[in-house]
Amino acid sequence: MTQRAPGLSSSHPIVQFIDVQKSYDGGALVVKKLNLEVKRGEFLTLLGPSGSGKTTSLMMLAGFEAASAGEIFLDGKPINALPPHKRGIGVVFQNYALFPHMTVAENLAFPLQVRDYSKSDIEKRVREALTMVRLEGYESRRPAQLSGGQQQRIAVARALVFNPALILMDEPLGALDKHLREQMQYEIKSIHKTVGVSVVYVTHDQSEALTMSDRIAVFNDGRIMQLASPAELYEQPENAFVARFIGENNAVIGTIQTVDGDRCGVTVGNRTLQAKRVSPLSIGDSTTLSLRPERIVIGQDALALSNHIEGVVREVTYLGDHVRIRMSLLGLDNFVVKQPNAGRDTNIRWQAGETMPVGWQIDDCRALDCDGAPTSET
């Protein structure tokens, strides 16, 4: 009888990692006790810095790396012992991995031929795949005759041509320039919505992850630090690492002085600030206060807020849709405030050297674990 993943039901996830670990030397773990489910039809991104374990997790799912411990299930069936070509997974790599001696049509036909599709079915599926990525008429070209973006679209089409239930993408846009990269983000997301296939996507680019994903698993040191939607990760980070890694963030180190439910008083230098207590912190504990630059008010309006303090303007940068103000306050010289450009007046109201009130709401100041980061993250 075929083994099934625990708790399998009619709405079971397409992928399950259960207590999966990976070590290359038999000692140090690159992936530590990974428990993760991929929902059917979702776009899940594994995001994290280099060496965090995200790519190794993807490679274990693809079958190119063996798990040192734990079990991986695909559609309810264990796949640890299955070789890559028997898993029925489409894979897209950063370097496209197209066969240079084959035409576009031959590249797309290859995964169908090794699965013994009929000639007529192959021709039909190749046509449909080219239509899906809007490259009809490119059948006879070779990869060297295509632009980087076109090659990437062919690589996506080849991964989809045999109708897999799951596609894995490992930094697929890393070789493209900024403009083309942004264009391809929306193209891949559009294809995902049209086809409805499950996608597991690896990147270190937070903007890319926020743009494309239904959910994001933020990795660090072989573990998932938080798994949530893009909006939840940005608005409600659960720890200092996620707050720092997702978006721009002011990180202020302080000490818990008072606790009242989910509110707390935090001493920073000779000041006490009010914050939302997110981590299970007690009086005397160190904490990292997380403050998003766009949630900060500068000028006289700041005086009406629960937390307000004076800061010195160090640098003002006009960036079109907003103005970025670097300030000195709370012991930091790199405290960032972002003010929207809502009108047509391009005169900058803040000047370097000015002392200005700066304030924020209690709920916009999250008291997280203390990771020792004493500066604003840019």
What's the confidence (pLDDT) of residue 372?
47
What's the confidence (pLDDT) of residue 47?
97
Q: Are 331 and 367 in contact (CB under 8 A)?
A: no
The verdict on pTM exceeding 0.85 is: yes
Average pLDDT over residues 128-139: 89
242: helix, coil or strand? helix
What's the confidence (pLDDT) of residue 49?
94
> Which residue, among 9, 78, 70, has the nearest Cα to 39 in the 3D structure?
9
354: helix, coil or strand? coil
Q: Is the dihedral angle over the CA atoms 278, 293, 295, 319 positive or is it negative?
A: negative
Question: Judging by DSSP bridges, how do beta strands 215-220 and 43-47 pair with one another?
Answer: parallel
pLDDT in tens, 211-250: 999 999 999 999 999 999 999 999 999 999 999 999 999 9
Q: Is the dihedral angle over the CA atoms 95, 99, 101, 104 positive or is it negative?
A: negative
- Name the least confident of 191-195, 215-219, 222-226, 275-279: 191-195
What's the confidence (pLDDT) of residue 306?
92
Q: What is the dihedral of CA 12, 13, 14, 17, to 10 degrees?
A: -120
pLDDT in tens, 337-346: 999 887 655 5
Instruction: Give the number of other Cβ atoms within 10 Å of residue 248's Cβ.
Output: 14
- CATH 2.40.50.140 for domain 249-368, yes or no, is yes
Domain boundaries, the chain: 15-235, 249-368
Query: pLDDT-based confidence at 378, cuts 50/70/90?
Result: very low
Top-confidence residue, 11 or 274: 274
Superfamily of domain 15-235 in CATH is P-loop containing nucleotide triphosphate hydrolases (3.40.50.300)
Cα distance between residue 4 and residue 207, in whole Å: 37
Average pLDDT over residues 316-339: 93
**Mean predicted lDDT score pLDDT of the chain:** 90
